[in-house]
Amino acid sequence: MDKLLLMSCCAPCSVGVITDLANQKVNFAVMFFNPNIQPKEEYERRLAENKRVCKALNVPFVEGDYLPEIWQKATRGLENEPERGKRCDQCFYLRLKAGAEYAKAHGFTRMTSVFGISRFKDFDQVCRAGKKAEQETGIPYETTNWRKNGGLEHAERLAKEYNLYRQTYCGCKPKK
């Protein structure tokens, strides 16, 4: 049976896609695995908002463990990289590989993510990480560009409707 795992970084980025998939009656769940988010209070806040959206739309929500130490290990030496640089390569891959492994272990047939929806992100960079995870796990990674066809504006409208908390930075706090 078809079952999609949608990897989410936060509620403002995912609310439009979750709403659309729920309206289309797609069999899917949202997974929140974001060891990149610092500090922990910020992580908890984003987690709670993403859960709130899923609960409102009656969509299953998978909460990954908060493991900042594995993110730090994966990105060590890349602290001074700019956003969209090599640190982000590792960050996307770490999260998408974990998602693909979860998907494989729990009967999901495909995976995608909203990691590239923000205009600050390099969409192709996210896709490359997802495809690497696909090659290593066999779980197809779908490279849907949710930013297109007004997707970003749709998400922004819904974020206002839900009065979602909107952060001012991606997740990590790299050394300057």
Give Cα separations from 35 to 40, 44, 46, 64, 141 (angstroms). Answer: 9, 11, 12, 9, 20
User: Is 83 a residue that touches ligand SF4 (CB under 6 A)?
Assistant: yes
User: Is 172 a residue that touches ligand SF4 (CB under 6 A)?
Assistant: yes
Nearer to ligand SF4, 19 or 121 (CB): 121
Residue with tokens 């495909």: 110
CB of 10 to ligand SF4, least distance (A): 11
Stretch that binds ligand SF4, among 128-136, 140-148, 149-157, 165-173 (CB under 6 A): 165-173
SS3 assignment, position 104: helix
User: Is 124 a residue that touches ligand SF4 (CB under 6 A)?
Assistant: no
d(CA 101, CA 105): 6
The distance from CA 143 to its chain's CA centroid, rounded to whole angstroms, is 13
CB of 173 to ligand SF4, least distance (A): 8
Question: Considering only residues 17, 31, 91, 111, which one is a binding residue for ligand SF4 as defined by CB under 6 A?
Answer: 91
Residue 29 tokens read as 């769940």
Phi, psi of 156 (to 5 degrees): -65, -40
Question: Considering only residues 10, 59, 88, 155, which one is a binding residue for ligand SF4 as defined by CB under 6 A?
Answer: 88
List interacting residues with ligand SF4 (CB under 6 A). Answer: 36, 83, 87-88, 91, 170-172
